[in-house]
Structure formats: C-alpha cells, structure tokens
A and B are shown apart, each in its own frame.
Chain A
Amino acid sequence: MSSEKAESAKGRATSFAKISGRRSSPAKTSLEHAADAQWGRGLSTFVRISRLTLRHPWQVAITIVSTFIAATLQLFIPRLLGRAVDQAHGVVSGGSGGAAAQNALWVTAITLLVVSILRGLFTMSQNYYGESVGHRTGYELRLAFYEKIQRLSFSFHDKVHTGDLITLGMLDLEGVRMFFSTGLVRVVLLSVLVGVGAYLLISTDLVLGLLSLSFVPFVAWRSSVTNISLRLTWNTLQERLSVLSRVMEENLGGIRVVRAFAAQEHELSKFDHSSAEALELAHKRVNIRVSNTSAMNFSFLAAMCLVLWVGGNKVIDGEISVGTLASFLTFMTILQMPVRQLGLMVNSFARASSCGTRLFELLDLELPIKDAPDAKDLVVTDGTLRFDNVSFTYEGAGHPTLSGVSFEARRGETVGIVGPPGSGKSTLVHLLPRFYDVDGGSITIDGQDISKATLQSLRRAVGLVQQDSFLFTTSIENNIAYGNPWAREQRIERAAESAQLHNYIAGLPAGYGTIVGERGVSLSGGQRQRLSIARSLVLKPAVMIFDDSTAAIDAGTEQRIRSAMKRFAKDRVNLVISHRLSSLMHADQILFVEDGRIVERGTHEELLAMGGRYRALYDLQVRPGDEPLQTAEAS
C-alpha cells in the first residue's frame, strides 16, 4: 500500500501528517523535541532496530536480494531502449535493413519484456517482504509495549500522561516499524541505482554522464532539507491542532456552560484564535512543500535540457549515437523518482531515531515492583493482616505521606479509616496490593511479608474497590467478571444482587449483555461504584478494601449493600475508607489518619468519648438539619 501511495502523488507528506494527526489528538510533548535534538544518540537506536528486523532473517534476505536484482534490472532498461533505437536507426546493423536488423529488434524487444516482467516481480517481492518485515517487527514491538505498560507500577503511571503513552504505542512504534521498508531498503535501492548507474553512465561518456547526474545532489539536498523542516513544523502543527481540538471538544462537551453564560462569542473567538494559528502554519507548510517540489522538478528538467544540448552536439559530431543519447535521457527518468524520495529516507532515519529512542527507553525500564527472586505464593491461613511501623514517601515528594503506621486486623474484622482529604488514607491501602512498595516497616499477611510473595498470589488475596474505577467498553457481565473472567452467570448475578445493582441491570433491554463504558450506556457515579463493588464480590480475597467506594451511593442503598455483604465480610479482613461516618461507625476498629499518621484509634464509642478529632468530625456531620427529621418521625 505504501508504495502505491508514495508513487501516486506528490506532496504525500502532508496527508500522512493528517492521517497520523487524526489518530493522535494528545499533543506531542517536549519529550519529542528533546529526543529530536539528539539524533546523535540515534546510532545505537538504528543498530537495535536493525537487530529487531534481523529476527526475520529470511525475509530480510529476500527483501535485500530482491532490491538488488530489481534495481539492477531497472538499469538495463535504458540500455536496451538505447540499443533498440540504434538498431532501428541502422547504427548497429550497419544500415543494411533486412532480416538481420529485424531479428535484432525482436531480440531486444523480448529481452526488454523479460527484464520488465522480472523487474516487476522483484520489485513486488522487495516491497512485499519489506512491508512484511516491518509489520512483523511492529507486531512484536506492540506486544512488548503492551506487556510493559501493563506491568509498570503505579508510580510510573502517576508520572506519565496517558496521552503520551498512547502516542508512544501508536505513532512512535509506527516510526520504528517503518524504518526497515522506508529507510534501510531505500538505502540499498538508491546505492545501486545511483552507484552502478553513475558508473555505467560515466564510463559511457564522462561529460554526458556527469550532466545526467547533475540534478542528483541538488534534489537530494533539497529533498532532505525539506523533509526535515516539514517534520519539525509537523510537530508544531500537531501541537496547535491539538489545542484547537481541545477547544472544540471542551466547547461541545461543556455546551451547557457555554449557553448558560451566553459565551458563544467568547468561544468563537477562542476557536478563531487557535484556528488562525494552526492555519498560518499549515500555509507555511504548503509553501515549504510546494516550492520544493517545483524546484526539484525544475532542476531535473534543466539537467535534461543540458544533456539534450550537449548530447545533441555530440550526436552531430558523430561521437555518440542517437540511441546512446536516448538511453541517457531515459536513464534520468528512471533515476528521478528514487532520488526525489531521498528526503523520505532521511525523514525515516530521523523519525526512527527519535521514536526509537523514546520507545526503547520505555521498553528498557526496570519494573520497580516485581516478584522478588525468592518469592513464594502467599498462603492465607488465619487471614491476619498486620501493618508494622509502615512509612512511605512518593517519589519526588518532600515529605513522607505515611509514617509509623501500625495496626492489626483479623479475619472477619472491619477496620474503618477516616481523616481529612490528602491525609494518606488511599496511599495506605494502595500499599497492600503493592501498587507501591513501603519505604520502611513491613506489611504481613499471616506472617508472610507481602514483598516476598508473588505479585499474582498477593493481588488475588487483596481485593480493592476504588472510588472511581474504570469501566471497560464491554457488557456489564464482562465488567463484573473482570477479575475472574471464568465466573459463572449465577455468581455474577449474585454479586450484582449484593451490590444492589441487579434490579437496575435486569431492567435494561439487554440486561447483563448491555454494553457500558466509553462507547456504551453511561452509568451514574453511584452505579459505577456499585458495579465496582460487584466486581470485587466475584473474587474471594482474604483482604477486602473499600476506598471511599460508596461516596456516590446514597445512604439507604449503602445500608442495604452493607447488610447484603455481611456474609462475605465474615470470611476476610475488611478495610473501609469513607467520609461518611455512618459507613464505618460499626467497625471493630477505627483509625483516624492525619498527615500520614494514625492520630486516634478505637471503636466509635471510644473515639466519641475521647472528644478529639473524630468527635469534631462527627459533630460536623450530624448537622442541625437532621433534628427536624427526628421530631417528624417522633410525631
């Protein structure tokens, strides 16, 4: 497909930009520019890409050999044409006419036909296997990338923008993948055509040979410069376009706000501003591209004009034949296209260098959280969870988020965790499935340090219901069974029943088969949280964590969920984070966390009696507004 495209029109560079631009709404970051600046580092990247392609040695070999043969065959064509002209013109056959000349023409014609067919077949093989190597390499890189992304810990994902990762996995990977067919193969092709071609031409006639090749350096230089400059402006254009699409997207998404403030004019001026910036650059790019195309074309024709002039005089002087002149001229036509595409080749090198550097950097990242060398599967016996003097600091943060956290909980117990926003409650529970590793102290389950357990067994033992968990675009059934995709229907339904979601699902036209998520039916915040609870109920964890996971669920429903879950709760340790005290009042133990420390602990009654922070929060929540409620009930 790519050769079809490349050959079919001038100025494909922009439409490529558009295609890729459409896929990458997230802006390229400064990362890209930084990497662009260091092409010097590219060498090791090229070596590495080449090694990757060599994982398909046969296909690479076929491609390279085909390229050689195709290019060489192509060089024969002008010669054959020239010979045919001379044969017809009577130069070779001595002007006799007759059957001998006729036969000679037939031989040339058939040779030419065979050469053409072979050239076509080898070009096909060159292109097909070239693409094939590229796609196979791309496939392997995709898998490696996907695997890496899935395994990299939370601390990595906290730092890196999802949009950047998506760009990396789509566009950058593409840049690396294409390197073989658009970069390396072209080098071979051009070397043969220009190298062998130049030798043939110059050995035939020095002056004419040099003149025929005179356009090559100019076109090569122009084409490279233009492609690099198009590439650089492309990055900027993408940034501007992504600003523009953000303006449009936010406007359409927030259309009610826009209308509510009668801010259409304001929005249009925002749009016009971003639009004008992008358009200006787009125009500039058109000019770069166009002035280059015309200049390259002109230099080629000018060289042809010179060859015709000088060559014509040589023909008149009898130094060369008309056929030789014709072969020079046709040779130039053949050389023209690959030389013009030299820029694409240069671009491919530049792209592979910057894309590859970024991509390999990610693929080479050490997994900070992985199984210890002597890791064993976690064996849950009594189901006792212990935090022992745990402390934790986020990477790059000045002060610890958690310090000296110790507590113990047994199977069947519920621990409530409460505290002001940002006090470290969520961080505390994120240490349990080892989303982050503790900096000091230890966490044990039945006496086994979790950092010595295999990640898989640990995460199966720890269930976490997040405040805002991700809905995958698939059926409700598959979403509930996300952690256990082998779960049976009854089990999924029971989980949904306990999470008070079954009635809602049953009321949907497609029931459990209803597609939810980004492109499906949208669920309210409360419904999402209930689905997330159902998800955790399909599993049988030894420790269950509710991280503020009922915030969007009303008190009445929450009450029903709690009572439905009682039978599950007795088999495991339950950790409940909530802002709503009614959700954790009945806990066996309540921890009040502030600035990363447990500042108060005890049962609800004990903490109330203590008269400290918990008490203050309780008073805040039991507002005067609730009093009339009680009187109303009493009356």
Chain B
Amino acid sequence: MSAATDSDEIENTSGRPPKAVVGSHREEEEVFGAAYDPRIVRRIWSYVRPYRMQVAISVVAVLVFTLTQLAIPLLIRYAIDNGMATNGSNRSTLTWVIAGFAVTILINYAASYVQETTVGAVAENLLFDLRRAMFSHLQRVSLSFMDKTEVGRLMSRLQGDVNSMQEFLETSVMSVGDIVLLFGIVGVLLFLDLRLGLLTLSTMPILFIVRLFWLPPAKVAFMGAHETNSTANGALAEGINGVRTVQSLDRQRVNFDLYDDKAHTNLRAHLRAAKFAQVMVPIVDTLTGIAMATVIVVGGSMVLGQALDVGVMVAFLFYIQRFFDPIRSLTMQYSVMQRAMASGQRISEVLDVPVDVVDGPNAIALSRDMDGSVEFKNVTFGYRKNQPVLKNISFKVKPGETVALVGPTGSGKTSAMALVHRFYDVWEGQVLVGGHDVRELTQDSLGDQVAMVLQDSFLFTGSVIENIRYHKTQATREDVVAAAKAVGAHDFIMRLPDGYDSKLEQRGGNLSSGQRQLISFARALVADAKILVLDEATANIDSYTEMLIQKALVTLLQGRTGLVIAHRLATIRGADRIIVLQNGEMVESGNHDQLMAKKGLYARLYNMNYSSFDDIPDELVAGAAPIGKAT
C-alpha cells in the first residue's frame, strides 16, 4: 500500500464529474405481450367464472345500450320525414315518435346504469380476487422461491398487474359495445342508402390505416414519457432518501446538474408524446369533414332530386359524428389487451409456483405433551441439485438441552435450523421433532411447538403489544407484559410515549436494533413453544443493551429445548453442547472445555480472537488445518 502519490494527484473538478449519477436505470418489465394468448385467457377466466352471470348481464346491457344509441338518429330521421313533412303533416306521428324517443332514452339510461355498475363491480372484485389468490398462494410456496424473489417484484404483481387485468375486463365489455356500434353504424348507413353509405364509409379505412401506422411509434413515444418519468422520479426519491449523505458529502451542486439532465430528458419525452397524441386530432377532424362534405354534396343533391329523404341526410350527419369513436377506442383496446396479456402471464407465473412443502394426507398434529427432543438422522439437504449444503448430518438434542451450532459462513447452520421448522424438505434422512418425522406432522402444529427467533428481528407496523402478541391473538395484556418483563424489555417499552400501545414505525424504525431483538424475544416467549430455534444477531450493540439480551436469552431458554446459531462467545460457552459445522459436515461436538482440549477446528477458530466465527475470512478458515488431518 503506497501513499506516495496521494497528495500530488491533481484532479480537474470542472465540468460534469465522470463518476457521478443520480437515480438508477430501472429495468422496465415487458409491458406489452402478444395480443391474445389462449392459455392466459383460460387461466384468468377461471377467476372471472364466478361472476359469469354478471358479465353476461353487462354484455347484454351494453348491447341494449348500443342499440339505443344507434336508434336515436333513426328516430330523428323518422320524426323529420314522417312527423314534420310539409305535405300532410301529422302531429300525432310526431308525438308517437317523441314517445318512442322517450322510451328509448329510458331504456338507454337503464342499460347504461346496469352495464356500468355490473362491470365496474365485477372488475373491482376480480382485482381483489386475483390479488388474494396470489397472496394466499405466496403464503404456501416454497421458501426457496421467496429467497430468490425480490419483494418489490411480487408487489408489482399484486398491485400493477392486477390493475391491468381490471382495466382489461372493464374495457373489454365496452369493446363489445364498440364493435357492435361500428358494425351497426356501417349497417344502418348502407341500409339507409347504399350509394351514399359506401361513399361516406370510404373514409373509415383511411383512419384505420393511419392509426395502424401511427400506433407503433406513438406507443414508443408514450412509453418513453412514462419511462423517463419514473427515472426522474427515482432520482428524486433517491435524493430525498439519501439527503443526509448528500449534504455531508457536499454533493448538492453535482446532483442538481445531473437531476436537471434527467428532468430535461423527461420534458423532451413528454413533448414528443404530446406531439404524437395531438397529431391525430386534425387527421380525425379532416376525415370527419370529408365525410360530412360528401354527405352534403352527394346526399344534398339526392335530396334535391327527391332521391333521398331529408331526414336520412340528417341521420347521416349524426352518425358521422359518432363514426370515429369506436375506431379510436378499439385501437386503444388493442394496447390494453397486450398489456393485460403481459400482466396475465406474470400473474399466472406467480400462481403456478409449486408448493413443495405440503401436509401429508395422514399428517397428525404435534401434541403439546411431546417431549421436545429434536433429532437429525443422516440428513442431506441442499437448494440446488448436486450441491448439498448439509451432508449426512446426525445429532440429537435432548429435551431441555441447549445446543449451540457454530461454524464459519456457509457451513450450513441456518439451513439446519430451517429444517427443524420444515421450511424445506430434506433430500435424504429424517428430521424428528418429539420423535415424529416432521413430514408426518401438520405444519401448523409444528409451528406452534417450534418458535423461532431470526437474526434480523422483523417487526410489523402496529403497536408494541400487537407485535409481541403477534398471531397469539388470545394472549392477554398481562401475558404480554409478563413476557416483556421476563426478557427485560418492559422498562424501555414503558418509556415509549404510549407504553405498550406505542405505534412502531415501519420495521420498528423508532427502536434501536437491540430493542427490536428484545421485542422479538418477548414474541417468542408469548408463543410459548417447547422448542426454541434462535439465530443470534451479529450486529454489535451497545454494552448496556447487550447485557439485557444475554440475560433475556437465559430466560428464554429456560425449560425449553434450544437450538442456537451462536455468534457471541458468551452464548457459545453457555450452551450445554456445541456442534461445529464446516462445509455442511459436522466436524466436532462437545462442550467448550472438551472442544478446547481437543484442539480441533473450534479451538483454532476460537483462538483467532474474532468476535464471531462468521467474520473469519475464508482464507483463514481454510488455513485452520484440513479436517481429516487435525488429530
């Protein structure tokens, strides 16, 4: 390590710094899928099925609605031609048409109300149903899936993707109406006058073609606006979250310039998207103008020549005004469908994650009166094929005994603990709790008898009491207080503004890490299980809290079988027995004095003077004598 050039480095600090960015590029997920994928549609349909009556009703309603919409210009036409004809005018005909009109709009009102309420409600229900299906499935899927999947990713399934399914359902029903409206208008125009109809309708394909060419680049522009938006927002969020670091390292000026770049890119992308969106307006208006002009010239001449009723001409003008709406929404619907397919694909993927660990058909409930022993019999286990993490491990923990598992990182301690709780199933051998193979027990009863304290004490939003009680909702306030007192958490809890009812911020952010641990200890105590599996936290805590934790540990283990992944020397020394794991194999076992006398791996690691075996660098562990040659 040479310090020679440290002071004479001359750095040019003008211009954009080479090693600075704000925000990060978020990998956007595939937004558009194939427009139609029967497999996904079938899959999602099973969630729509319970509402098929409502869907049918809303489809019927939308048809009725569309038909009444179609009828209105026809009624006007009839009123003009038959009710107001200058020769032999007939007021009663007009009155009848008006009555018909009134009935039509009443039906229209009813149909629109029924359609929108039904489809709106069904779409909301579908959203919540899909979300619940995924959420409850995630409660059962294998932990190895959860281990390798980011929470953020799952959250976007549970939020964004279900939303696009909802949007899809809502708009599909409307699309049915749009299709009927489109064909209806075409049909009526041709029926009213074939020649004029054909002439007028000839503008329609033009719009179709224009939109076909317009859509792909427009979509890119819209996506660009969306993406640059989230990039700029990401940079903003980062600036807010990291503001203390930004200020202490005096990065404000640099960051401002970088943020300006992003914000400006975003501005340009938005303006581009706006151009694409707006360019359609004059095109549609021009085509409408052409169609109306056609009706005026051709239709008008026909009326002049008595070849066409004037009412028909008026009806044509009315239809033209509605003409392009269905085309516009149908082309939009295409994007909605693509988006929904992509989302549906992702939702199906979550729903299809296999559930590896399930209760056997003859699973029995683990009784409270079991002895509390834990035994590993020739257990081999791993996460990836041919890469066992535990190799043929056997040991037995007697009821009430405390066993410390020690070993360097990657030795398999955490995996062994997870097996006691049957988070995963073993490859070979057996894990026995209270004399029963865990695979023959119901998972719930096993969970009731095996409490776990994890290294990272996870707290939920809610009050202190809710966190200590957690799922034991029948536990009384006294139980909770007693548990908190037993682990020495009572004092600091009482110092919180509302005592046990104080709200914890997200993940218990308003507590120190030591205090969070004490609360998770209390939670395990309330769970009152025969067996306690504990993964000791490694973080260095101030000496005062540390003392409390050590005492609490003793209380917690009293009268229970304890399996502890130990890091602190005091904990290791306090155990009845120490099991040393290395590379998935059990290399030593015995109490501290026995192991020290043996001068094996444990003694060597111990003498390296690290506060935790996990900290020992790999090269030193490797150097701590190969196992076979130790004696």
Contacts and interface: CB of A to CB of B under 8 A. Distances in A.
A142 B232 contact: yes
A162 B80 CA distance: 65
B251 A275 contact: no
A154 interface: yes
A255 B283 contact: no
Nearest to A333: B321
Given A109-B296, A491-B9, A23 B282 contact: no
A305 B124 contact: no
Contact of B125 (A145, A279, A291): A279
Interface string B136-170: 10111001001000011011001110010011001
Nearest to A266: B471
A470 B238 CA distance: 9
B561 to A, nearest CB: 16
A23 B281 contact: no
Interface string A249-264: 1111111111111111
A302 B105 contact: yes
Interface in A85-123: 85, 87-90, 97, 101-102, 105-106, 108-110, 112-117, 119-121, 123
Given A89-B310, A421-B545, A131 B296 contact: no
Given A4-B277, A329-B76, 5 more contacts: A109-B293, A142-B232, A150-B239, A282-B128, A472-B21
B451 interface: yes
A88 B11 contact: no
B1 A266 contact: no
A488 B313 contact: no
A9 interface: yes
B274 A486 contact: no
A539 B146 CA distance: 40
A221 interface: no
Interface string A121-147: 101100110011001101100110111
A553 B611 CA distance: 10
B512 interface: yes
B143 A256 contact: yes
A199 interface: no
A136 B270 CA distance: 10
B256 A157 contact: no
Contact of B108 (A124, A139, A253, A297): A297
Contacts of B121: 283, 286
The 9 closest A-B pairs by CB, nearest first: A262-B447, A116-B289, A120-B285, A120-B282, A485-B17, A260-B452, A483-B249, A554-B615, A485-B20
A427 interface: no
Range class of the A interface residue count: 35 or more
Contacts of A298: 105, 108-109
A81 B296 CA distance: 8
Nearest to A158: B244
B512 A466 contact: no
A632 interface: yes
B580 to A, nearest CB: 16
Given A166-B237, A488-B9, A87 B300 contact: yes
Nearest to A117: B286
B143 A255 contact: yes
Given A245-B155, A249-B155, A567-B3, A261 B470 contact: yes
Interface string A460-498: 100010100110111001100111111110111010011
B618 to A, nearest CB: 10
Given A11-B120, A260-B421, A267-B139, A488 B108 contact: no
A246 interface: yes
B243 A150 contact: yes
Interface string B196-227: 00000000000000000000000000100100
B607 A632 contact: yes
Tell me what chain B mostly uses at the interface: helix, strand, loop, or mixed.
helix
A564 B6 CA distance: 14
B289 to A, nearest CB: 3
Contacts of A262: 443-444, 446-448, 471
A139 B267 contact: yes
Interface in B476-504: none
Interface in B112-146: 112-113, 116-117, 120-121, 124-125, 128, 131-132, 135-136, 138-140, 143, 146
A248 interface: yes
B46 interface: no
B611 A124 contact: no
A294 interface: yes
Nearest to A290: B116
Contacts of A251: 135, 139
B292 A271 contact: no
B91 A554 contact: no
A556 to B, nearest CB: 5
A329 B299 CA distance: 19
A102 B452 CA distance: 92
B378 interface: no
23 contacts: A7-B328, A9-B174, A22-B160, A81-B317, A114-B289, A115-B289, A117-B286, A245-B159, A250-B461, A260-B533, A275-B128, A286-B121, A312-B80, A313-B94, A316-B84, A466-B248, A470-B245, A478-B19, A482-B251, A486-B11, A552-B539, A620-B543, A628-B592
B244 A466 contact: yes
A225 B310 CA distance: 41
Interface in A159-189: 162, 165-166, 169-170
A256 B222 CA distance: 40
A96 B163 CA distance: 62
B231 to A, nearest CB: 12
A315 B540 CA distance: 93
A379 interface: no
A5 to B, nearest CB: 9
A420 B282 contact: no
B89, B249, B280, B452 — most chain A CB neighbours (10 Å): B249
B274 A466 contact: no
A309 interface: yes
A633 interface: yes
A618 B241 CA distance: 37
Interface stretch (B183-191, B301-309, B393-401): B301-309
Contacts of B260: 143
B590 interface: no
B451 A260 contact: yes
A296 to B, nearest CB: 10
A249 B156 CA distance: 10
Nearest to A314: B84
Contacts of B94: 309, 312-313, 316
Given A1-B273, A4-B280, A330-B321, A112 B296 contact: yes
Contacts of A11: 116, 120, 170
B34 interface: no
B273 A169 contact: no
B300 A150 contact: no
Contacts of B547: 620
B247 interface: yes
A267 B244 CA distance: 35
Interface string A214-257: 00000000000000000000000000000001101111111111
Contacts of B131: 275
A528 B305 CA distance: 88
A529 to B, nearest CB: 10
B340 interface: no
Contacts of A272: 132
B278 A3 contact: yes
Nearest to A292: B116
